[in-house]
Each structure stands twice: as structure tokens, then as C-alpha cells.
Amino acid sequence: MVVIALALMLCGSAIRFHNLGGDSLWFDEVLTANAARSGLDGAFAARDHPPLLYLITWPFLRALGDNEFALRLPQALAGILAIPLLAQLGRSLGRQRAGLWAAFLLALSPFHLRYSQEARHYALLMTFSLATYLLLVQALAGGQFRQWLLFALATALNLYTHYGAFLVLAAELVLVGAWLARRLQARQFRLAARPALAGLFLLALYAPWLARLVTAVGSNLGEAAGPGTTGITPLNVWLRQAFLAFGFNHSVLATLLVILAAAGLALLAWQREWRGASLIVSLLTIPFVAIGLFQVARWGFPKYVIYMLPLYLLAAGVALDGLLLALARPDPRQTRLYAAGTAVVIVLFMLTIWPRLQEEYRYVEREWRGAAAYLDGRAAEGDIFLVMTLDLPDGFNEGGVALPYYLESSFERYTTLDANRLRLEQLQALAGTEATVWAIVLDRVTPVTPAGPAMHVEPVDGALFVIHPVRPAGPPLAQLVALYEQIAPLAVTPSPQCLLRQDQATLQAAMGDFVAAAGALAQAQEQCPIPATGEEARRALQQAIDRGLLAHHLAAGNEAAARQVARRLLQVDAKDEAALAALTVENLLQRFLAGQAQVQDEASPEPIQVRRFVMPHNGDWGEVLFVHPPAAVSFTITLPAEPAALRFRLALAPESWTWGGDGSTFVVRVAAATGPLAGGPATELFRKHVGNGPGDHDWQEGQVDLAAYAGQSITLTLATEAGPAGDSTGDWAGWETPRIVWR
């Protein structure tokens, strides 16, 4: 049996080492490379995963160089090691031949081959999980303390590999709990203490990562999961995906494997082998139950439950072994017939599975290395590489990370632009430069074809294309706009096309064409009212475009349009100076500082002056006309013929909040100097009391309509009075930048 296990291991090694470094790295593998390159710092800085993969990969990169083979080698070795571990698991359960059958199926599994050749966590997760299964079976059978400690150590390594290991541990704890109940019932307290001590050992090993675990739980469970996760996937999707992937990506084989696994479990139950049956059933059901119960926010990718595969294959191996034994039993030459049946099954499986393995070898996630090689022979130092994705609704652009990994070896100077995430400052830095722009476009839905003779399209693989102008003309920003105009309409709608339209608006703003930028951004907002790239980024772009539009309209003398843009700017930033200037008819604070005001503060304990109030809870500040009651300040103003209004904010100085008093009353009065109301008494148009309670400890908005006085000269008075009780204690009242603005 050792010879057979060794032969299976050698077969699995050949399958997993073949073309190990042949494919270029895809997005997730580049993340592994970047983290592993940095050693301890990179391993512990990784946001989404525990550090063990990066710590294991780092010495391979140091010893063998920074290349695809070295990066994937730890996973290949883990995948190879899983084969004898699975055979040994069958032996520990008293099912040696079943373990060998399971190891045979695992050696030929295209699903396991993929993740044994991917520089991510999944092959390690399965191998460490297998180690915990094996050690747990031995611990439950013999109860030796050493075996329990080894189980705790293997579990710690698994938990430091991937958070999915907690689902493995949950299923194993059910088995341990049942074993403990029997030991306690039999009053075997010394035996029962061993798993408890092993649990404390595990907790001590994992304690340094517990804080990170809490963060990971919050960002991976429930509807409010963090970035990088997905919506909650229904369990039927998980089951369907695992059914096909575990079943060699072939519906007939998958159905056959389900039947064999069910028959194997039935055979274990019929023969009362409860240890093996409970292990398999627990590990094949409890993780799925936990995924649904805790609402794990992940796509239903089978790689997240890869640790189930060995037990699934082991159940099928039990059935295969039982079937061959049943066929051979009537004949005295039982061994010979079993061997013949084994040969037939092996040949049939290999003939059926081999095409699936060849498909796996041909599969390339993305040929970023090929794109970089194409650019290496044609692009020049300092050129600009725009990476675009046209088919993903969330606008995820993996090339923005994957392509630079390969460009680093070809170019010392270059600029990579990550489409769907262009920033105005980044593009403005390109103004005045000279370079050719190349677009590397990913589209799995529709082949990208040139929209005209000015663009050349070079297919790299079935979904990856390199596009560049036949004769580059104009500065880089102009080339980028031309590319977007041709490529953006090809994208999937509404997203990512709307994100590319937002990019186009960013480009046009960087070129100073704010009218066109506003149109492109409006189109993007119409397609995607809730931006996938983040509301903050879109708001910042809108603000930059509006500032440009404001200057454009003012220069063109289009005051009405300028005021409309200015109001939009003030909704984002109430202190935008350009917007305030466009809307302001008179700034009364400036008039006061220029000595153009009549002051009545003889009865006030403090002179009228300009001060700054800062709200302590949010830092919102304002320059105020400080008017301690009883006092007033008046301005003589000629209003424009168009309707205007007086706008201001009111507050008591934060340092006066604890001094007592009942607050201040703010009053606005207007007396007409010309027009039909001239010579009449002053009219009170506004009165508001700002108290000294917690609800008043902030800015209070105020506005007075002056439309009735349009085109007239008026005397406008801002007055403050003590509160209703006549108590002026702490009445440090302020009018924040009172302005007459266009209504």
C-alpha cells in the first residue's frame, strides 16, 4: 500500500508541476507576490487574510527569484502532500483501500489542480484541514495528549492560513463535543481534560491574531460586509457550484460522484462505522450550515469550501472499494478480480478526466505577461498604459494591479492609469508631457474591434486586447479622450460604462473643457445614480468641474448660469469663496471693516467687532459680527433691481455656553430711504431667539427676503437683545458673515 500511495503522489506531482510557472499571474496572485516580497511587514499588513501564506512564500521568492514558479511552488507542494495525507486518513479510519481510491481521485482532480497551481491560500487550507482531520481521528481513537496538542497546532496553522478554517473547526468541535460527552458520562475525567488543555494551547497560539479576527468577522459577515466581499450567496448556489467543481467539472461525472459518495456513507452506516460516517457527514454539512447561519458575504466559489473535497472523495472511495469487493467476493481469486476491476476503473476514470485536465492547463485567467511582452517590443520609456475593464458590473479593474507587476521588468519609467478610478490631480500632472497612450482592455463578453482606421487593436488572448493609435497625435490627455470616445460605448451598461463616462468627464476637466466634462458626468450620473466607485470621488469631481464652470460662466458674462453653479458648490462647501463671491451683492462684514456702518453699542458691555467662532463638536468655523446685547449695527445699501435676500448664520460663542444666561435674540429691521416706503418707520423682518441649551449649541441658519425693496436704498439694521428674562449673562452673540445675495 505504501508503494501505491507513493505512485499516486508521484502522479499528482507530475500533474501539478507541469506548466506550474506557465501562466501569468492574475490579480489575487499579484497581491500574494506583493505581500510576500515584503516579508514580515507585508505578511502582517495584508488586509483580508491571515499571514501564513505570505510567510511561507517569502523564502521561496528569496531562494528561487521573483517569478511565477517560485510564487506557486508552496501551493503545488501543499497539493502534492494532500494526496498521501488523504490515503493515510482512510487508513486511520480502517478504510485503507478507500483512502487510496480517494487519493487517486484527488490526484486527478482538475479542481484541486487549479488551486495547487494558484498562489493563493486554498491548497494550503485543504492540506492543513486534512492534517487536522487525521490528527483528530487519532486523538479521538487513542486519546493521547500528544495527539491532542498536535491537533491544536495543525488547527492553529490552518487558522493562520484562511478564515474559512473556522468553519472546519466548527465541524470538528461538534465531534469533539460528542466525544467529551461520552467520556464525562463514563466519568473519564482525565481523558476529558486533554482536549480542554489542547483548546487552551490553541487559544494561546492564536491570541496575537484575535483583534484582526474581530475585524475580519465584521467585514465578511452579513449585508454590511466590507469592500472586497459580495452579497450573501444562497446555499443552493454554493451546493451547485461545489457539485460541479468537486465532480471534475463534468455533469455526468459529478452525478456519478454524488451517487458514489451517498453509497459510501450508506455503506459506513450499514457496517456501523460511525467514526468515519460522523466525520464525513459533519465536515460536509456543518460548514454549509454555518455559511447560511452567519451569512458569509462571499460568492459561492467552491474554493472557499475546498476543505470538504477530501472527505467527499473519501466517501466515494468507500463506495468504489465496496463495489469492487462485492463483484470479486463470489470468486476464490478475489484479489485478482479486485485488481482487474481496479484497472478497469482507473483506465475509465483517466480517459474521462484527462480531457478535463488538459482544459485546465489551457485555461489562463488573464495573459498580462503577454500584454506586457507586446508593449515591451513597441512602447517607449515614459509611455502611458491605460488599463480598462469593460464587462464587470462593479467596475473592478484587476489589470490596474496585475499589469504593473510585469511592466516593472520592461520599463523604468512609465505611467499606469487605472480606468474607472481616474483622479483629476493624476491627469493634470500629465499636462505638458509628451507620450504615447496605450490601452490594455479586458472584455470577456465581446471581442474589442477598432472603431476606425486610426486605432490598432491587437488581441493578446480571448478577452485581453491592446489598443493604440496608429499615428499618435496630440498630447496624452487628447489621446486619452479619443480612446475613451471609442472604447466607452463598448462597455457593459449601465456599469462599467457609466464609470468610464465619469473617467471621460475627469479627462475633459483636466483639459479645461468643463462644459464637456459636465455633460459627461451628467450622463454618468444618469446611468449610475449611486456610483460604484464611491460617492466621495464623484462629489469631488463634480465640485472640481463646477469650479471650472463657474469661472467659465463668469468670464462669458453668463451671470445666471454662474449663480446656478455657485449654489451647487455651496451645497458641498458652504465656504467656497468663488461661489460666495458669485452670489454676493454686498458683504456686510467687509463693509463693517471698511468703516461703512453705523454702530449703536453704547449700552453694550462689549464693543461691536469681528471675531471667529469655532464649533467644538465639528470644527465648523465662521467670521462673525460680534454684537453683545443690547447693541445694533446699521448699513445703508442700494439694492439691485433683481430680487435679493440677506443670508447669515447665528450662534453664541462656544466659550460662553457654560456661563449661564438665557441666550440672545437676533433682530433684523429695514427702513426704506427711497421708493414708496421711504420715510416710514423701520420694519422688523426677522426675529429669532437662540437659547443656551444643548440644542442651541451650533450654527443657526437665517435668511431675510428683501424682494420688496428691489432697486431701493435701505437702512438695514442687525440688532441683538437680551433673552426673554432680560438676562444678558454670556450673550456673546455673533452674526456669521451676513451677506446680501441674489435670491
* Residues 689-715 pLDDT 10s: 999 888 899 999 999 999 999 999 999
Mean per-residue pLDDT, 365-389: 89
Q: Does the pLDDT of residue 39 top 60, yes or no?
A: yes
DSSP codes joined into one string, 424-491: HHHHHTTTT----EEEEEE-SSS----SSTTEEEEE-SSSEEEEEESS--S-HHHHHHHHHHHHGGGS
| pLDDT given for residue 636 in this prediction | 94
The reported pLDDT for the residue numbered 231 is: 65
Is residue 64's pLDDT more than 60? yes
Q: Where are the alpha helices (DSSP H) in 160-273?
A: 165-185, 189-206, 210-220, 235-246, 251-270
Higher pLDDT residue, 444 or 515? 515
420 in Cβ contact with 397 (< 8 Å): yes
Segment 117-134 mean pLDDT: 97
Confidence grade of residue 734 (pLDDT, cut at 50, 70, 90): very high
Contact by Cβ (8 Å): 591, 635: yes
- Is the pLDDT at 224 greater than 60? The verdict is no
Residue 738: asked if its preceding bond is cis (omega within 30°), the reply is no
Query: Percentage of the chain surpassing pLDDT 70?
Result: 97
- Residues 129-148 have a mean pLDDT of 92
688, β-bridge pairs: 666
Lowest mean pLDDT among 46-55, 61-70, 595-604, 615-624: 46-55
Q: Is the dihedral of CA 584, 590, 592, 594 positive or negative?
A: negative
Q: Look over the chain and give the mean of its residue pLDDT values, rounded to a whole number.
A: 90
CA–CA dist 29, 405 (Å, integer):
10
pLDDT score recorded for residue 452: 67
What is the per-residue pLDDT for 196? Answer: 92
pLDDT at 218 over 80: no
DSSP string spanning 281-307?
Answer: HHHHHHHHHHHHHTTB-S---GGGGGG
pLDDT for res 38: 85
Judged against a pLDDT cut of 70, whether residue 44 lies above it is answered with: yes
pLDDT of residue 580 exceeding 60: yes
Contact 82, 289 (CB under 8 A): no
Residue 332 has pLDDT above 60, yes or no: no
Return d(Cα 241, Cα 155) in angstroms, integer.
26
**pLDDT classification of 477: cutoffs 50, 70, 90:** very high
144 Cβ contact partners less than 8 Å away, ≥ 6 residues apart: 138, 194
* Sequence letter at residue 305: V
Task: Say if residue 227's pLDDT is above 60.
Answer: no
363: Cβ contacts below 8 Å, ≥ 6 apart: 114
Average pLDDT over residues 153-157: 97
| Segment of 337-351, 367-381, 385-399, 507-521 carrying the highest mean pLDDT | 507-521
CA distances to 228, 463, 536 from 444, rounded to whole Å, are 21, 5, 29
| Residue from 604, 728, 720, 731 nearest 657 by CA | 731
CB atoms under 10 Å from CB of 451, counted, come to 14
| The pLDDT of residue 362 | 85
Cβ count within 10 A of residue 634: 18
How does pLDDT run across 196-205, given as a tens digit for each residue? Answer: 999 999 999 9
- Contact yes or no for 226/218 (Cβ under 8 A): yes
- Lowest-pLDDT range, 352-356, 428-432, 452-456, 628-632? 452-456
**Contact in structure between 159 and 173 (CB atoms under 8 Å):** no
Residue of 534, 516, 536, 518 whose CA lies nearest to 526: 518
| 1-5, 53-57, 306-310, 413-417: least confident range | 1-5
What pLDDT was estimated at residue 334?
65
Section 733-741 average pLDDT: 95
Give CATH superfamily name and number for 584-742: Galactose-binding domain-like (2.60.120.260)
Residues of the chain with pLDDT > 90: what percent?
59
Q: pLDDT at position 250, please?
A: 86
The pLDDT score that the predictor gives to residue 538 is 86
φ, ψ for residue 646 (rounded to 5)?
Answer: -95, 125
The pLDDT score that the predictor gives to residue 648 is 95
> How much is the pLDDT for 3?
87
* Integer Cα distance of 592 and 606 in angstroms: 16
Average pLDDT for 149-167: 96
222 — pLDDT class (breaks 50, 70, 90): low
pLDDT at 602 exceeding the cut of 80: yes
pLDDT band at 461 (very low <50, low <70, confident <90, very high): confident
Cell of 631: 447693541
Res 282 pLDDT > 60: yes
For residues 661-680, give the mean pLDDT.
Answer: 86
| pLDDT score of 531 | 60
pLDDT category of residue 55 using cuts at 50, 70 and 90: very high
Q: Is the pLDDT of residue 311 over 70?
A: yes
- Evaluate if residue 390 carries a pLDDT over 70: yes
Going through 344-408 in order, the beta strands assigned E by DSSP cover 384-389
Among 427-431, 567-571, 673-677, name the one with the lowest average pLDDT: 673-677
Residues in the chain: 743
Would the pLDDT of 365 be above 80? no
Q: Where is average pLDDT lowest: 92-96, 116-120, 122-126, 568-572?
A: 568-572
The domain segmentation of the chain, as residue ranges, is: 2-362, 368-572, 584-742
